[in-house]
Structure 1
Amino acid sequence: MGEFWPVSDVLAHLAGRWRVERSVRDLASGTEGHFSGVTVFGGLEGGGLLHEESGTFTWQGVARPATRTLRFLPGPAPGTADVRFADGRPFHALDLTSGRYLAGHPCAADLYRGEFTVRDADRWRTVWRVGGPAKDLVLTTDYEREG
């Protein structure tokens, strides 16, 4: 098997509960943080998945509860997704039919560039590089299916 694991239907693949480990590195200061928690992809009325992440984020020795909600809606092509913020604003497209996808999202003066890779049926990773006048970050998140 190659380095990437193709996924024919991203929404069907992501449905369920995942353990999450994320490292956050500030390249400008060298500061590092860590998030540990779970993400649940549950069904949305009308199709798609509600992504609900919760856990603990530790930054500069201070641990705080952290949550994030996204909407993964059916994309324009079969098996793809249209990822949106909780309020419905567009975030990025997602197509894992090759097992790998590159996404971009401009946010004010910053640019988010994401790489999504699927390792096998139960493991996938995202790496977001955030650059701009106020940010120089790398966020690496590993997901492992629970159950």
Structure 2
Amino acid sequence: MGEFWPVPDALAHLAGRWRVERSVRDLASGDEGRFEGVTVFGPLAGGGLLHEESGTFTWRGVARPAERTLRFLPGEAPGTADVRFADGRPFHGLDLASGRYVADHPCAADLYRGEFTVLDRDHWRTVWRVGGPAKHLVLTTEYTRVN
């Protein structure tokens, strides 16, 4: 098996339920947090997938419920996705044809750079590096398919 696992159709690959484990490191303060939960990629009316993540986020010793919703719409090229926030604002593109993809998302003065890596049929990872005047973070998320 190579370092990356090519995925010809991102939406078809992501559909279903995934266990999520995320580490969050604040490089400025040294604080570390953790999110544990599930992400469900379910059918979205009109095509695409609704990404619904829920679980527990622990930061500075305090555990709180956390959730987020994204929309993964069919991209311009076959097999790609156009990822949007729940309110429809653009987030980033996604093309997993090579098994790896890098996306940028400017947010105010900060820049989010995400690296998506598909390890095999049932495992993938994202590493978001956030840099700028407001944030200096690294968020690493491991996804494992739940059968």
What displacement does 1:43 show?
0.2
- Two-structure CA RMSD over aligned residues (Å): 0.3
Instruction: Among all aligned residue pairs of Structure 1 and Structure 2, give the percentage whose two residues are the same amino acid.
Output: 85
Question: What stretches of structure 1 of length at least 5 have no aligned partner?
Answer: none
Distance 2:116 2:97 in 1: 11
Corresponding residue number in structure 2 for 1:122: 122
Distance 1:68 1:109 in 2: 22
Q: Which amino acid aligns with 2:23?
A: S
Q: Which amino acid aligns with 2:67?
A: T
Are 2:107 and 1:134 aligned?
A: no
Taking structure 1 as the reference length, the TM-score comes to 0.99
Taking structure 2 as the reference length, the TM-score comes to 0.99
Deviations 1:29-50 (A, max 9, x none): 1100000000000000110000
Distance 1:135 1:105 in 2: 14
Q: Which amino acid aligns with 2:51?
A: H
Question: What stretches of structure 2 of length at least 5 have no aligned partner?
Answer: none
Q: Which amino acid aligns with 2:77?
A: A
What displacement does 1:14 show?
0.2
Q: Which amino acid aligns with 1:136?
A: H
Are 2:42 and 1:42 aligned?
A: yes
Distance 1:134 1:44 in 2: 34
Q: Which amino acid aligns with 1:44?
A: L
Q: Which amino acid aligns with 2:127?
A: V
Q: How does 1:60-79 map to 2 (within 5 A)?
A: 60-79=60-79
Corresponding residue number in structure 2 for 1:10: 10
Q: Which amino acid aligns with 1:58?
A: T
Corresponding residue number in structure 1 for 2:145: 145
